[in-house]
Amino acid sequence: MRELARALGTGVASSSRIHDAFTKPRLPGWGLVEVLVAELAGRVPGGAPVEHEVKRFHDLWDAAAAEDSSGPATTLDAAIQAAVDSRNYAGAIRLGTQLLAASALAQDHPQNLQRRHQLADWRGHAGKAAEAAAAFADLVRDMTRVHGPDHPDTLDARHDAAYWSGEAGGAAEAAAAFADLVRDMTRVHGPDHPDTLAARHNAASWSGETGGAAEAAAAFADLVRDTIRVQGPDHPDTLDARGHLARWSGEAGGAAEAAAAFADLVQDMTRVQGPDHPDTLDALHDAAHWHGLTGDIEEAAALFTDLARDMARVHGHDHPDTLDARHYAAYWRGEAGGAAEAAAAFADLVRDTTRVHGPDHPDTLAARHNAAYWRGEAGGAAEAAAAFADLVQDMTRVQGPDDPDTLDARGHLARWRGEAGGAAEAAAALADLVRDTTRVHGPDHPDTLDARGRLAHWRGHAGDAAGAVVALTDLVQDRTRVQGTDHPDTLASQEALLTWRGRDYLRSPLTQPDAPA
């Protein structure tokens, strides 16, 4: 399906729409049938002329359309398909609900069950994952009753029910559901069936999302081996599984392994799919990301810079993927020592994301965050503080005062106010932040512990070295309990405690030399 979608060209028909044309009971539109027949007929060595095959299928399609029992629904079907093609899922849901309500078919008719499947899927694509999961749960129950538990449509509905439950926040639930589905798919279809392999893919992915990165990496290693055997090393599903294997190997602690694996994957995707294919560009993005996490910062900055250029050429300057690549290119440029360069690049990105997405879009707010941060790192502490003050106001309005990003921006605002000379002001702001992060995240959350460390730092710089010692003594105890004695944050807090103990000792009257007579 993916190969046909690529062959037809961007915007002609998605792989899911092509899949529906081959598998669903509803008669597909002639326009789609025509381009599919032409593409497939042209691939048959020594076959009939393409024009002949197109005419033959058009006659068949006319006969099928004349006998189509849907009657007046045909026009509504066309409107629904147009809504889906334009990604107007809300419109598709509205029209599809009308079509289902007007159906003269029995409630358990396969066509009505299929329409319910589509409606549930559209709800998920419309951003209503929880509603989609609930609708699929009901559909699975009815399909099991009508078709039986091992019917392909029942298994297909179970697949989508598990997926949308994961997208709705139930990663553990999705992982367990896909594990059960893999077992049943293997029994019904066999271990090498594409649907079984797809279920294994999702089971591994959701296992990783629950925190089992090592388990996900092991599962994808097995899946890559099997997809190579079944579908070949250059099949899109094999290449996709290799990408997930690399990602979860990195998440499990193997950043260097992930970087090397993605570099190899980029080479193979370039050979198989071409350098401008979206999957190739995505793999290049991941290769750059993991290079950065291995400490190869210069390479990460260079790769993201090249990627941003290629994305602009392939997708256009305003495409979200182009803007995303520019974001990371600027970030790693700053990490490589070019703070002023990063600040300038983020200032340009803020202007463009505001124009493309609007001032309140998460990507615009993230770009503003980084522009302010690197402005401070480049020596403009007062400018950074002013920019973060504006950002905190807008984040509070858009995302709410308790959003993690809002709380994080408040921490940066306090830091740059302190760097600009307002140590007491920074300490007061961090005291408020500690209170709020404790309420929102809990006392043992990393963000709460980090805010407490910053509070102690600026309390000391505001002249209260003894208060810093007391705060850091308590923090070291809590970090040791929560994170362990050897955690880098615990060790850093211990070092800060020793520093402020020394400063407090030097400031104590008992350590001052006697006044001259």
Three-class DSSP labels, 322-377: HHHHHHHHHHHHHHCCCHHHHHHHHHHHHHHHHHHHCCCCHHHHHHHHHHHHHHHH
Closest CA relative to residue 38, chosen from 59, 11, 7: 7
DSSP 199-226: HHHHHHHHHHHTT-HHHHHHHHHHHHHH
When pLDDT is averaged across residues 179-208 and rounded to a whole number, the result is 94
pLDDT at position 404: 94
SS3 317: coil
> Which region among 50-59, 96-105, 182-191 has the lowest average model confidence (pLDDT)?
96-105
Give 501-513 pLDDT, tens digit per residue: 887 655 554 433 3
Give 356-393 pLDDT, tens digit per residue: 999 999 999 999 999 999 999 999 999 999 999 999 99
> Which region among 6-10, 92-96, 129-133, 310-314 has the lowest average model confidence (pLDDT)?
6-10
Residue of higher predicted confidence among 57 and 45: 57
Residue of higher predicted confidence among 516 and 301: 301
Is the pLDDT reported for residue 428 higher than 90?
yes
Three-class DSSP labels, 31-66: HHHHHHHHHHHCCCCCCCCHHHHHHHHHHHHHHHHH
pLDDT at position 447: 95
What six digits make up the tokens of 470? 């007391």
Say if residue 67 is exposed, middle or buried (CB neighbours under 10 Å; 0-12, 13-18, 19+).
Answer: exposed
> Which region among 70-74, 119-123, 418-422 has the lowest average model confidence (pLDDT)?
70-74
How would residue 17 be classed by pLDDT, with cut points 50, 70 and 90?
confident
How would residue 180 be classed by pLDDT, with cut points 50, 70 and 90?
very high
Closest CA relative to residue 398, chosen from 436, 372, 365: 365
pLDDT at position 12: 66
What distance in Å separates the CA atoms of residue 114 and residue 25, rounded to the nearest whole number?
8
Global pTM reads 0.74
How would residue 4 be classed by pLDDT, with cut points 50, 70 and 90?
confident
Percent of the residues in the chain that have a pLDDT greater than 90, as a whole number: 72
Say if residue 73 is exposed, middle or buried (CB neighbours under 10 Å; 0-12, 13-18, 19+).
Answer: buried
Give 454-480 pLDDT, tens digit per residue: 999 999 999 999 999 999 999 999 999
